[in-house]
Structure 1
Amino acid sequence: MFDDEKLEEKIEKIYRHHYLEVYRFLVCFSGNQNDAEDLTQEVFIRVLNSFTKKNSISNVKTWIFTIAKHVAIDHYRKKRFSSLFKDGFFKQIASTEKEPNELVEQNELKRLVHLAISKLKPNYRAVVILRGINEFSIKETSEILQCSESKVKVDYHRALKELKKRLHMDVEEVIGNAN
């Protein structure tokens, strides 16, 4: 009984600590808050089901995000939805100091970026969300995506190049520096 209670407390702590980050990642990937809620629940169900099976987890955060990535890709494959990132992708930066025309321009830019990201290949989309939006390190991104750090760098560079083509602008202005 004691071990079960201890395990339950540990899982609850992991859930509280990582829920919001996983949810944000899944909102970015799915573009839909309702889907992200369902997918987040699915991630933590999988975490719960496999937690006792995993004897040594070197980095809980990357393990959970690896599960989240697989859940998101499974969902993407099942639905084959055409429009991603409709709401909630960027942090709302609405300020009372902004002029109405600045807000309209900002919202239009967000819409264009959402659309461009949604048209990227799933692995490019994932690396852009993890590196460019969530600001994970190259190492963390490689662990989550289960690939080499070199592949993360190459995919991120190619994804930004593709976004630049799609947006006809300097992506670094929108997302940040590629390095």
Structure 2
Amino acid sequence: MESDDRIERWFQQYGNDVYNYIAYFTGRRDVEDLVQEVFTKALHALSGYEGRAQPKTWLLTIARHAAIDYMRKQKLMDWFPETVLGFLTSRERTPEKALVLKEQLQEVYQAMNQLKRTYREVLILRLIEGVSTVETAEILGWSEAKVSTTLHRGIKEMQKQMSKSSREVKLHDAIF
């Protein structure tokens, strides 16, 4: 319980600093979930905290990584077709919307099937299933750095595949 008490004290002392850091870093004010994530990660990592850095420094380092992960995910969400994400998460749709979404989803599936297995695994876990970097690393038996790098490369490759698919459709439509 001592670790819980320490995290609680640090939250009282440094919670606003962590909030402000993440808010400025992301450009958003609704970062309460990220702040909570930082302190949850800190609680889980507390046994590894050696006291070489001040608690605030250590917490802001965790906050930095959480904010970077958030920004990467947001960047991907901006790129990833919103309608496809809606299809994956929403069960409310009209038949017309369902048809369009099914076609878009099919395009995404085809593009994902062209990816290396490692890219596919990371994209599915991180983006579709919403699993954290830490959990993804644990599931795959990789380091967090490898998960992040593979995610970034997978996104780039997915973008190439989707762009290629889009060009092929336009060419096909122009011919016929």
TM range (shorter): 0.3 to 0.5
Higher helix residue share:
2
TM-score normalised by the chain length of structure 1? 0.40
